[in-house]
């Protein structure tokens, strides 16, 4: 079996965290989002995050296999963080209200 094919099969067999962990991750993320005033990113910042996710081997469709979150939603909130610390840090002066 070729390395590329084996790597692809391993990636497809990866699973997101269990439901309990996903609920915990969601609750923690939402608490951070609310504490930050529910601020969202600018469109370019949001798109930058999604491009980073596009290149990540922990992405399957719209889901992060590390935290279980829906990326199209998680990438939007300023307080949300990548569980692998791949997203750039966002300053207070670059957000939309």
28 pLDDT higher than 60: yes
The answer to whether position 1 is within a domain reads no
26 pLDDT higher than 80: yes
The reported pTM is: 0.74
Domain count, the chain: 1
* Structural domain of 20: 16-96
The answer to whether position 34 is within a domain reads yes
The answer to whether position 2 is within a domain reads no
Q: What is the pLDDT of residue 27?
A: 93
- The residue among 9 and 37 whose pLDDT is bigger is 37
The answer to whether position 3 is within a domain reads no
The phi, psi pair for 41, rounded to 5°, reads -85, 165
The answer to whether position 51 is within a domain reads yes
**Nearest in space to 87 (alpha carbons), one of 67, 8, 97:** 67
Which residues, 6 or more positions from 82, have their beta carbon under 8 angstroms from its beta carbon?
A: 49, 52, 53, 64
């Amino acid at each position: 079996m070729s390395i590329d094919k084996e790597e692809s099969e391993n990636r497809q067999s990866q699973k997101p965290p269990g439901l309990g962990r996903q609920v915990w991750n969601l609750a923690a993320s939402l608490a951070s989002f609310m504490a930050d005033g529910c601020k969202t990113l600018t469109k370019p910042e949001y798109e930058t995050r999604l491009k980073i996710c596009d290149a990540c081997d922990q992405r399957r469709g719209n889901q992060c296999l590390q935290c279980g979150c829906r990326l199209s939603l998680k990438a939007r909130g300023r307080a949300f963080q990548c569980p692998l610390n791949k997203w750039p840090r966002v300053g207070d002066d670059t957000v939309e209200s």
